[in-house]
Structures are given as C-alpha cells and as structure tokens.
Chain A
Amino acid sequence: MKKIWFPVLVCLISFSSLINNASAWDYPLIVDLIHIKFDYESGYAYDALDIRKNQSGRKIQADFTHNQDDVYTLGIVAFTTYGEGFGYPQETPVDFPNGGPASPYTTFTTYGSVPNSVGKRSFKWKWYITKVNGVPFPWGDYLWFTDTGWHTHYTLLAAPQNPMSVPWTDVLDYACVWASGKSSESQAVSEITEKAYTSLGKNYYGEATHAQGTTFNLTGFLSSSWADCRDMSATVHVFTRAIGGTATAVWWIDGGMYTKAIKIIGGSSWQIKWFAFHQVAYRSGVYDACLKLRQAVGVNERVPKGENMDNPYKRDLFDHGDWEPDDGSFSYDSVN
C-alpha cells in the first residue's frame, strides 16, 4: 500500500507546483503603461510618426511594469475611446523577463486605418489586459488598467517634402487645420492659400521680408504680424510641402508695376499699389495669399487660387508698368 501511495503523492505535489508556476499571481494585479513611442525607428517605414491618409497597420511601441513576481507575459490591447485616431493597438503578448516587474519595449500593430484626408485629430486609448501568463480571464473578460491622455496626430497627404521634410508642429497646426478634410494637393493648396490670406493675421509690409532668396525665416515670420508677397508665397509653398505636397513652388514676376485696385493682405479697402516685383505660389496656376483681386467693383472678388497667370490673374492685377514673369518656378531650400 505504501508503495502505491508514494508515487501518487509525488505526482500530486508535482502537478500542484506546475499549477502554481502557471498562475502564481494574485489580485490586485497592478499594471502601468510607462512609455509609448510613436516614433521608434530611424526611418518612416512602419512607425506612427509618419501618418499619411489611407495608411493602415501603423506601429507603436510601449513598455509596462506590473506589481507581481511571477507574471512572465501579459496579453495587452487598447481601444480608442474618444476622438479619431489611426486605429488601436491590437492584442499583443508583452513579455516580462524574470517574471517582472518591467517589460522591454514591445511593438504593437494598430488595427484600423488612417483617415482618408488631411487633418489634425486627437484620440484617447483605453488599455486592457487580456491574458496573464497566456491564460485568459474567465468568461473572456479583459482587465482595464489605464487610460492614456489625448494623443494629437496630423494626417498628411504624403511624406513631408523639402524644405520641410521634418515638419514643424507650428506649421502642421496651421496646414492640417486649414486643409482639413482635403485629400489632394490641389484641394489642400487652395485651402492653405485662402486661409493664409484670411486667418493668419498678417498685414502687408513691402519694405522688409522674411523670405529673401531661397531661405525662409519662418520663425521670424510666425512671430510677427507683417508680411510681404515673398513671405506669403513661401508660406503657401512650405506649408503645402510640409503636408506632403510635391508640386507647389513659387514664381517670381519682375516689375515695377502698378496694380489695379486690390485688397492687400491685412487691408480693409481696395487700393492701387506699386510693386517692384511680385512673387506668388504656383501649382499649375497662381495661388496668391497676399492679396484679393476683383474683375470689377463687386464682381468676382477672390483670393487667387489656381488661376492662369495671364488670364484672369494678370488681367485683374496688373494695371501698367513692367510685367516679366521668370521662365520657371523655384523652391525655397531652407527654413529657419
């Protein structure tokens, strides 16, 4: 009889220790989300820093801690609870070497896709534990452990272009809001032109500039309330390229020229101006955020967008003097 009981006892003890090893944790199970990296790679291949319209499966990384001694892996997932994001982190096993307390950064692939248009959007994620050491909770429950605050993200048309290949948030705050909901460069540059004229709060001043040559002193421009035509054309050009536009440049028109009655940026009345030259943004047509034109008093008053250089743009702007557009457009090559 003793000979029979001994092996049974050994088996029971061994089985019991196996069970303990697999689920040796106890409530309260406290898990903290320590960091989230939206930009964890040196390039833009996968991570969520580079968010362009229609993309899906962007990736993030996060690391965690817990308060247990023997939790080697946690299944973790998050869901978007507020706002509009670019998907949510799919359920992913997070390993804790030695059973805790800290995990290395773990890559999560998001489920869902980036919106189909330019925008500045915000969202919150709610984070849950789905499994502990590979074992789901009873009845498939998830254990909520934290909420993250608002994450703001900018959706671009495409990868940002020179001279703003690494875009400034100051610029995206304008460009993504102005071009919100637009899904093509031509739509976006139109909105940026219109809003740069109406909403940037600049007053025309032709005796100085922030945009001499091909260098745009954007810091100075953003902090001041005056601008000339070079500043405004550089704004349309650089802001459009910051959100991924590739075809928007600037075009120089030599003068001097007397204009017809125009409403210069910041001005409240229609007035004749003299320009030694004029500079506009260009993308298969003129985009001029520096002034408003009209065909006649009260007729077709507009901020020029995508207009043919000669007609109607020159027809409604130029009165007399010299009008000598350069042979081609050019781009700003640096922004400071």
Chain B
Amino acid sequence: MDNYKTLFKKLILTIIIFILINPSIIASQEKFLLKEEDLPGYELIEQSKNHWLDSQGKIYWAISQRWRPMGSSDIEDIYIEYCEFESETEAITVTSYHSGSFAGRYVWGAFSGVIVGDRCWIGGESAMIFVRGNVGIHLFKPILPTAEDRYTLTTIAHKILDKIETNLSPEILALEEAAKQQQIPLEDYNQMTTAVVSSALMSDFSALMSWDSKWLSDTTTLVIGRRTEWKTDSGVVVGIDISQLATAEQAKQAVNIQSQQTYSPIFNMDSLTSLQQIIADWQAKQKFGMEENLFSVVSYKGNLAVHVYQFDPTKINTDFTYAIIEQLVAQIINF
C-alpha cells in the first residue's frame, strides 16, 4: 500500500515537473523553431518534447517537430529535433555524441557537399545531424527515404541555419569573435592549400564555400579554423579544414577530439604509409549507405591541425584522394 502511495506521489510529481518543464523548454527554444510561414507547402503535424543524451547519460531536453507536405500522408513526414545547449562547446560535444548513438551509421559530411553549419553528419538515405552555435539539430525523413529527399532536407537545414544565425545570443557571438582572434591567417591557409587546389589534379574544381570551422582543444575550449570546399560540376567535393593552435600538444589533442567526433581516422604526416593503410582499411570494409561516398581523415603537424575530406556522389576514387592529401602534406611540412 505504501509502495503504491509512493508511486502515486512520484507520478504526480513527474506530471507536475513535466507540466512545468514542457512549456519552458518550448519557450526557451522558440526562437530557433521553424514555423509554418518558414516552410510553405508543409504543415506542422506535431510538436513535442524529446531528449538527447551525452556520453554520461545526462538528459538534454529537445523539441521535436513533425512536418508533412500538404496533401501527403505520413510516409512523407519530416522530423526535426532542436536541442539548445548552454554553450557552443557543449553543443559540439553532445551533438557529436548524439550522431554516434544510433544503430544506423552517421558519417561526417553533407548530402550536397555544401557546408551545413559548424559540423554536420549524414546517415542513411535521409538523415542529418548538425550544429550551429549552441544549437544541435537532427533532421530526418524516416519512411521510404529516397535520394531526392536529401535535397529537401538540405534546403530545410539551411532554413533552420538562417533561423539560428539570426537568433544567436550576444554571448555566443562574442565567444566566436574572441576565438577568431586566434584563427589561422587567411594568407597562411591559402599558402598551404593553393598549390593543391590549383594543381592539375584539381583542375576541374572550383572554390565553392568557406566557413569558420569549429574545433575543440579540450571539452570547453573553442578554436576557430578555416574550412573551404572545392567542387566539380559532377558534384565531387574536396574540403580542407586547417586550425592553428597555441601548442603542438593542443593540436594533437584537437585532432584526437576531431577524429572521434567526425569518425575520421588519424594519419601521420611524417609517414604516409599510415594514410595508405587507412585507405586500404576503408576499401576493405563492406559499405552501406553513404559511407562509400565519403572519405575523411585528420592529422597534425606542429601546432597545425588538419582535416581533409572528400565527397563523391558516385564513389570515392581513393587514388585521387591519396594524391591530393600527399600534395597537401608536402605543403604543410614545408610551411
């Protein structure tokens, strides 16, 4: 009897907490949520509370939206989860963990090859997880996903990014501005990359997009790097992201974190056989979904941390991959 009374009290308490928390969660994240006027042709079917976890099992409350194209059935439903964090570093850490917490595989990259937010992972045919500022987003279309859905999701992702961008808090903007003061100079970045991207190997490529990349040198320290992508008409993308840290030790640490969070193996710039081994392992694996379209590795030299990745809508040409990384490494070593 006492047990039932205790359970009953717990239930009432849970309901009260839920009632108190639920509106406040939605209210605090309201500014980031898409509204019906943001998505013409779609109707908002459902908006509810959801939860994300970090590696310690801590719960972060998120908002889940379910959108349906007008006149469609639930087969076409698109889900968006928004999770706002206390800080940008927490957002990167937890969202990275979130991307690796599913039975299906997420890999570093974006469907279109276009940079999506500060960090982006894609999974299966039609799921993406990305971070911008202190907000993590999980966007997916679960039923009968097709390749066409990727473009729809990418379009929606950019609408969400616009919403986040215009609503970032002054504290987040100030933190990014401060971190930018330590950013690798553009001249240095260009000096290391120009020889590669202007070589015969990449004659079909043109610069597509640049972004201030976000690295972590530890769980609470944000470091801003430079990231540019080059793309061919056929949709092959090469991305080079370089960050300059205060010390070699910090660069090593940043690369370790980046490796874990972007599922990118670490190779040794002083011994490119390590890169050959990574490519061999990559080729040996049986591939599912998008994995065969993406290749991503990280490395460090001195106080420089480097992330190189390639997207190919057909299949990665690893000979090409090796050749451009080899050239890039030569530039960095000689820098």
Q: Please give the residue numbers on chain A whose beta carbons come within 8 Å of chain B beta carbons, in ascending order.
A: 42-45, 162, 165-166, 203, 205-209, 212-215, 217, 219-220, 223-226, 228-230, 256, 258, 273-279, 334, 336
Contact = CB atoms under 8 A, between A and B. Distances in A.
Which 6 A-B pairs have CB atoms at the shortest separation, nearest pair first?
A206-B104, A207-B127, A226-B142, A205-B142, A207-B123, A206-B103
Contacts of B143: 203, 205, 225-226
Contact of A275 (B1, B64, B103): B103
Contacts of B14: 334
Interface stretch (B4-12, B33-41, B166-174, B302-310): B4-12
Interface string B138-164: 101011100000000000000000000
Contacts of B315: none
A299 B297 CA distance: 44
Given A223-B46, A228-B102, A208 B53 contact: no
A274 B123 CA distance: 12
Given A276-B105, A336-B18, A208 B5 contact: no
A336 B104 contact: no
B48 A276 contact: no
A165 B140 CA distance: 33
A331 B274 CA distance: 43
Given A43-B4, A217-B51, A220-B50, A206 B18 contact: no
Contact of B59 (A215, A220, A278, A279): A215
A260 to B, nearest CB: 13
A208 B102 contact: yes
9 contacts: A205-B143, A206-B103, A207-B102, A213-B51, A213-B59, A217-B48, A225-B142, A276-B104, A276-B105
A275 B105 CA distance: 8
Q: Which of A217, A224, A228, A279 counts the most chain B CB atoms within 10 A?
A: A224
B124 A206 contact: yes
A102 B229 CA distance: 81
B294 to A, nearest CB: 15
B180 interface: no
A208 B105 contact: no
Contacts of B288: 273-274
Given A206-B102, A215-B51, A220-B50, 19 more contacts: A42-B8, A43-B4, A44-B4, A203-B143, A206-B103, A209-B103, A213-B51, A217-B50, A219-B48, A223-B46, A224-B79, A224-B142, A228-B102, A229-B103, A273-B288, A274-B105, A274-B286, A278-B103, A336-B49
Contacts of B108: none
A209 B14 CA distance: 22
A275 B289 CA distance: 12
Contacts of A42: 4-5, 8
Contacts of B74: 224-225
A208 B1 contact: no
A277 B103 contact: yes
Contacts of B71: none
Nearest to B11: A166
Given A203-B143, A207-B124, A225-B74, A165 B51 contact: no
A107 B57 CA distance: 48
A165 B103 contact: no
Interface string B196-210: 000000000000000
B52 interface: yes
A170 to B, nearest CB: 15
B11 A165 contact: yes
Nearest to B64: A220
Residue from B4, B49, B75 having most chain A Cβ neighbours under 10 A: B4
A276 B51 contact: no
Contact of A208 (B51, B59, B142): B142
B106 interface: yes
